[in-house]
Amino acid sequence: MEDIRSETNEYGEGNQSQDKKSKKIKKKKTVTDDKECGCSNISSLCSHVRTNCTDESASYKFFNFFFYGAVQTFNSYVSVYLKTLGLTASHVGLINGTHPLLQIIGAPLAGILGDRYRIKRVLLLVGLVIMTVRTMLFLPFQPQKQVCNVVYVNKTHHVVISSKLIEFHITKRSTREQFMGSTKQTHKRWQPASNSGIKFQDILGTILEPEDYIFNNSNDESEIEKEVKPNTDVDPFLSPPSVIIEKTKDYKLMFVKTEDQDEIERIFIILLCLTLFGEVFEALVSTIADTCCLDYLGEDRERFGMFRFWGALGAGITSPISGALFDHYGQTICGRTVSGYHYIFYIYFAYLCAAFIAATHFRHRYDSSASSSKNKNIKDALLNLNYGIFLLVTLYMGLCYGFLTSFSFWFLDDLGANAVLLGVASSLRSVAENCVYFISPFVLVRLGHAKVAAGCLLAFAVTCLLYSFLSNPWFAVPLEVLSTGAYAFSWTTCVSYLNRAAPPGSSTIVQGIVQASFWGLGFGGGSIIGGFSFRVFGERETFRGFAVASFTVLVFFIIIQFILTSAEKQEEGSKYQALSNKEEISQSKSPTSEEDHE
């Protein structure tokens, strides 16, 4: 047996040396070819540009930039756009929830059809076209029978009385001459020894009309002359008091928008059908694109976040520009300024066209092993308790992210947030996503997948809890950053961990299962549950419910991970003990065997 192994090793080393020689020969040929060509500076520049444009790594980065820049920006604003059409929270929840649910069909279908029939490229490009057409068909369907009723509320008649009273100093002489004339009334008397300030209102009493005054306990009027007396400090009548009677009509305008419910239901059904039609292909696109990137990375799957970094960068650049554009082209509809959210469709169209060009440079890898054995290996791997628990946590984190994505902007709009605030929040979310994707490989290696997943659950719980007490929409900006960071960490963690269970050549199927769990059941379920709960229980109560559920899942996940870790340590200890026992037995037998040999 030792001879056979040595021969195979030598044979393997011989093959490796032959491969190295062949690579060297190829390199020499390419060098000689370049020398024979004698390319000039222009031709070398063209070849350099050509190689960079067709570089596989660059194609994934460009695709992620435009594809996820379009999808994430669209998902952020589509709920508010549907709200402006008159759709209810239940309608929006169903539209946002059913289209991820179809990823349960589309994501695994990408793996089955793409691997079996070797048509990944066709599915990817066709899916991009159908996504674009489906989304642009949202625009023509808008309500035409909305009526805005203007109601005049609280019509009143106001009398505004103004009096300009000043304080001045008056001397003893002017007091006597001015205010102690011969009248039938009881006079207002002041102490002659004081030159302190006297308020004009105390002297004149009740005000009737300009420059007509009544002294206390008097029914007769007397007019006081306006003249400056000797030894006075100032003019005693700098600004005579007055009574101004102003007749005004003070009312408030209340705008009541009424919709044709039959028309709203028809629009809802049409948009729902368009969503159902296009979402299967959207699941195909995202699954195949992620699979190509994971196959390119090979064993370095922790670096997957570095490529998704470009998608977050695209969303980060697109979101603030979109928010400013929507706010600039806003319109006043029925007494309320509505931002031009419909421009998101044109941005979506332009970005997907660029993503289509990048997708044509993808390299698709296939495996020739039997599909039945691969499916059995996938089933056995995912039924493992570690992977199974992680798959369930993946589903729940997708549920939290689906709820927050679909209804956080809805809630902020009810609090009075404008398009600028939403644009700032989207921009900072993208910045946070960029940072998380950039550092995720180092964090996963440093902390491990289980600790990162537990931190994501805690972040979702804290975000939902703080949202339930929110009153100022600007305070939601850090919460949006926190939830987005939790999403980026959770998605990267689940993809890199669960793809460990993928047998060779089956990464598309495993990625389809992960995609269906997070974006299908998770994201879609969060949108549907959130929309229903918003309508039945209210907005703040829904956030509190998700916070309690997240804390509960976190506690169970920590307990299960502790049990699994303890079991693994015991198993490793038993294996080490068995190995040490074998070594002791072999050492005890070795002297006797040598003596018998002698």
pLDDT in tens, 487-517: 999 988 988 888 776 666 666 677 778 888 8
CA gap 399, 383 in Å, rounded = 22
- Domain presence at residue 182: no
Contact 76, 333 (CB under 8 A): no
Name the least confident of 3-7, 334-338, 374-378: 3-7
- Tell me how far apart the alpha carbons of residues 552 and 457 are, in angstroms, rounded to a whole number: 10
Q: Is residue 139 part of a domain?
A: yes
In this prediction, residues 525-554 reach a mean pLDDT of 90
CA distance 93 to 403: 9
CATH of the domain at 489: 1.20.1250.20
Cβ proximity of 456 and 493 under 8 Å: yes
Domain assignment of residue 200, yes or no: no
Examine residue 10 and state whether it is found in any structural domain, yes or no. no
CA pair distance 434, 485, nearest whole angstrom = 9
Tokens of 392: 């369930």
Strand partners, 255: 150
Residue recorded with tokens 């695709």: 63
pLDDT mean over 422-426: 81
Average pLDDT over residues 261-285: 85
Q: Are residues 408 and 543 in the same domain?
A: yes
Residue 141 CA: distances (Å) to CA of 137, 138, 264: 8, 6, 10
Calpha distance 437→31 (Å, rounded): 39
| Highest-scoring range by mean pLDDT, 51-55, 76-80, 162-166, 451-455 | 451-455
- Classify residue 276: in a domain, yes or no: yes
CA distance 150 to 256: 6
Q: Are 355 and 454 in the same domain? A: no
Please give the pLDDT value at position 464: 93
Q: Over the Cα atoms of the chain, what is R_g?
A: 39
Comparing 45 with 355, the larger pLDDT belongs to 355
User: Do residues 333 and 384 both lie within one domain?
Assistant: no
Q: What is the pairing mode between strands 147-158 and 248-258?
A: antiparallel
Give the pLDDT band (50/70/90) at residue 531: confident
160 and 116 within one domain: no
Is the per-residue pLDDT at 590 higher than 70?
no
Flag whether 215 is in a domain.
no
At which of 212, 230, 259 does a domain end? 259
In this prediction, residues 549-562 reach a mean pLDDT of: 92
Same domain? 361 vs 408: no
Q: Exposed, middle or buried: residue 403 (CB in 10 Å: 0-12, 13-18, 19+)? A: buried
Residues 6+ apart with CB under 8 A from 484: 429, 430, 432, 433, 436
Which has more pLDDT, 207 or 365? 365
Q: Are residues 132 and 161 located together in one domain of the fold?
A: no
CA distances from 581 to 574, 587, 588 (A): 10, 10, 11
Q: How confident is the model at residue 373 (pLDDT cuts 50, 70, 90)?
A: low
User: Residue 234's pLDDT band (boundaries 50, 70, 90)?
Assistant: very low
Segment 14-39 mean pLDDT:
41
Among the three residues 200, 227, 259, which one is the final residue of a domain in this structure?
A: 259
Give the torsion sign (CA, 452, 457, 458, 460): positive
The gap from C-alpha 401 to its chain's centroid, in whole angstroms, comes to 8
> Per-residue pLDDT for 555 more than 90?
yes
- Give pLDDT, residue 377: 61
Any bridge partners for residue 250, and if so which?
156
Token representation of residue 260: 């044709």
- For residue 541, give both structure tokens: 């109560």
Least confident of 8-12, 182-186, 236-240, 291-295: 8-12
Considering only 57-66, 424-433, 586-595, which range has the smallest mean pLDDT?
A: 586-595
Pair 437, 344 in one domain: no
Range of the domain at 119: 55-143+261-365
Q: Which of 229, 259, 289 is the last residue of a domain?
A: 259
pLDDT at site 194: 46
Whole-angstrom distance, CA of residue 296 vs CA of residue 210 = 91
Is the domain of 271 the same as that of 417? no
H-state helical runs in 85-119: 89-101, 103-117
* Three-class SS state of 198: strand
Q: What are the φ/ψ torsions at residue 246 (nearest 5 degrees)?
A: -120, 120
| Residue-averaged pLDDT of the chain | 71
CA 566, 568, 573: angle at the middle one, nearest 5? 95
* Same domain (yes/no): 571, 457: yes
Same domain, 501 and 554: yes
Residue 239 pLDDT > 80, yes or no? no
Question: Phi first, then psi: what are they for 455, rounded to 5°?
Answer: -65, -35
Best mean pLDDT range from 194-203, 320-329, 370-379: 320-329
Assess whether 498 and 401 both reside in one domain.
Answer: yes
| Number of domains forming the structure of the chain | 3
Q: Does a structural domain hold residue 21?
A: no
User: Would you tell me the crossing angle of helices 261-297 and 120-136 to the nearest 10 degrees?
Assistant: 150
pLDDT at 154: 55
Kindly state whether residue 329 falls inside one of the protein's structural domains. yes
Residues 139 and 151 in one domain: no
